[in-house]
Structure 1
Amino acid sequence: MTATAKITSQGQTTVPASVRKALGVKAGDSLIWELDADQTVRVRRAVALDVDYLEGLEKTLQEWSSQADEDAYREL
């Protein structure tokens, strides 16, 4: 798919309707812009983090959160 949009003097642009539909985004959603080494840009829909999952995962990692661990790995 190819779509064209202009950039305003304030650096803003409108995401073409065909791209919004393909990404499944609407007003208020966030996009992630990724610039590759060859100067191409990829745009993708930002997905909200699953906070409950991350909090559950954090609880399983408590064995690595002692002061001794903080001291040992601080400089990494």
Structure 2
Amino acid sequence: MITSRLTSKSQTTIPQPIRAALHLKEGDALAYRIEDGCVILSRADPVIDDPFATFDEWNGEADRKAYAGL
């Protein structure tokens, strides 16, 4: 079992084996989920800065050519 301690400011260091397993680096966001009395720690989904990045409707080659100069 891997452990860490809580500081007086309610902070802890994520142990290196956990950081390695989750491929964490400085600045990464973490997500916490509570299930059956246990806390599950995972990488948080990255925040998409471009709200249109998820739209695939205009992601074809013809669209890229048509809108390349904008």
TM bucket by the smaller chain? 0.5 to 0.7
> Which residue of structure 1 aligns with residue 39 of structure 2?
41
Deviation at 1:23, TM superposition (A): 0.2
| Cα distance in 1 between the residues matched to 2:47 and 2:8 | 33
The residue identity in structure 2 corresponding to 1:43 is: L
Distance 1:33 1:47 in 2: 12
| Structure with greater proportional helix content | 1
Aligned length: 53
Taking the aligned partners of 1:6 and 1:49, their CA distance within structure 2 comes to: 29
Superposition CA RMSD, Å:
1.6
> Equivalent pairs: percent with the same residue?
34
Alignment partners' CA distance in 2, 1:46 and 1:21: 15
Q: TM-score, normalised on structure 2?
A: 0.67
Q: List gaps (5 residues or longer) in structure 1.
A: 58-76
Query: SS in structure 2 opposite 1:48?
Result: coil
Q: Distance in 1 between matches of 2:26 and 2:13?
A: 11
Once residues 34 and 16 of structure 2 are traced to their aligned partners in structure 1, the CA distance between those partners, rounded to angstroms, is: 22
